[in-house]
């Protein structure tokens, strides 16, 4: 894992971010954006990073939780971005149907699990696709 060997403030800003120059022990480096001139990572830290074609660097520090700096893990995603969007749309539809009195509140979870695959175009027991579902729909 690369180690930061140099971290210098350039004195320039981009929107609300400070532009810093970073160098790694693998002879690579570039510009990094930070909210302050003293970001959470520092010289000597082992980090993972990605670099874009313009030399911009995005640093992910190898964070080891301690008692004074506990770990706050991000919520793990259970699916792709498309699936998350589809589930949100179906959930919103279910809430609207509850409000209209078409389904009951206790049926939202069943509704979401039943209709998310249809929106995604995946085969289900009720319908094999979004198109088939709406061809059979009385609407």
Distance CA(77)–CA(107), nearest Å, equals 23
Residue 76: inside a domain: no
- Alpha-carbon distances, residue 118 vs 74, 85, 100, 103 (angstroms): 29, 13, 22, 18
Of 61, 90, 106, which one is at a domain's C-terminal end? 61
As for how many domains the chain has, the answer is 2
Residue 75: inside a domain: no
Residue 126: inside a domain: yes
Pick the closest to residue 34 from 2, 58, 4 (CA basis): 58
pLDDT (0 to 100) of residue 31:
93
Residue 67: inside a domain: no
| Mean pLDDT, residues 62-72 taken together | 46
Residue 98: give the domain boundaries: 81-136
Tell me if the pTM is above 0.85. no
If you search the block for the tokens 């929107």, which residue do you land on? Answer: 15
Span 81-133, pLDDT tens digits = 888 888 899 999 999 999 999 999 889 988 988 888 888 887 555 545 555 55
């Amino acid at each position: 894992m690369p180690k930061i060997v140099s971290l210098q403030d350039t004195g320039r800003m981009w929107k609300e971010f400070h532009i810093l120059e970073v160098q790694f022990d693998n002879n690579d480096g570039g510009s990094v954006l930070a909210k302050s001139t003293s970001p959470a990572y520092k010289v000597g830290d082992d980090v993972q990073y990605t670099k874009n074609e313009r030399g911009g660097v995005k640093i992910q520090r190898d964070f080891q939780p301690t008692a004074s700096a506990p770990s706050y893990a991000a919520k793990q995603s259970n699916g792709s971005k498309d699936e998350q969007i589809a589930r949100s749309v179906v959930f919103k539809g279910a809430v609207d149907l509850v409000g209209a009195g078409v389904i009951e509140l206790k049926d939202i979870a069943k509704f979401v699990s039943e209709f998310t695959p249809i929106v995604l175009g995946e085969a289900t027991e009720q319908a094999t696709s979004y198109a088939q579902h709406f061809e059979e729909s009385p609407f």
